[in-house]
A and B are shown apart, each in its own frame.
Chain A
């Protein structure tokens, strides 16, 4: 069974440019999470989806960050415009449903903003 797939794995952009990250969860997993991991820190929740509904986006900086999961499968996280402080690893995780506590993490996208 394939794990959580994320792309790109690495991205370097200049500040003020837009960037998008893509996540394909494990097949059949209805719950999807985006986390942000700064260097030397633990991951921090950005947004949680149950199917196509964003049920917890309280930690998402909505002035520049947006996310979507239109068909309840793949998800895209966007930053526009990117700032230097956005340099981090963006992790996607999925679990079978809202009653499942096991989360499976993808490899992450490492973003560098110059």
Chain B
């Protein structure tokens, strides 16, 4: 069974602090995805990581992929309130085109 596990599921952090969200997955996959979801809104694509060792950065967010360890991380640098949202990692479902299997999400709250 394909599993995608995120850690932590809930995260409250102060503005200006750094933190990392971890995503482990159980199947071989060369592609990992990060999505953001604001309350009541749909999913917004943040990053697609296509190969082992891939690193992508956008603003205060940086994603990196280790396919050997089956570990995907999302690092938050100097958090600001606007980053408050739920973050999902996802992997391709095998033999299903590019349909995605999502983790449960990490609900992030950044406080002053």
Contact = CB atoms under 8 A, between A and B. Distances in A.
Interface of A: 31, 33, 40-45, 48, 50, 55-56, 91, 95, 98, 100-108
A12 to B, nearest CB: 16
B90 interface: yes
Contacts of A56: 96-97, 99
21 contacts: A31-B97, A31-B98, A33-B99, A41-B104, A42-B4, A42-B88, A42-B102, A43-B102, A45-B100, A48-B99, A55-B97, A56-B97, A56-B99, A101-B48, A101-B92, A102-B45, A102-B48, A103-B100, A104-B45, A106-B42, A107-B41
A43 B97 contact: no
Interface residues of B, number: 22
Given A41-B105, A102-B48, A48 B42 contact: no
User: Mostly helix, strand, loop or mixed at chain B's interface?
Assistant: strand
Contacts, number: 55
Interface of B: 4, 31, 41-45, 48, 88, 90, 92-93, 96-105
A43 B91 CA distance: 12
Contacts of A55: 97
Contacts of B105: 40-42
Given A50-B97, A98-B97, A91 B104 contact: no
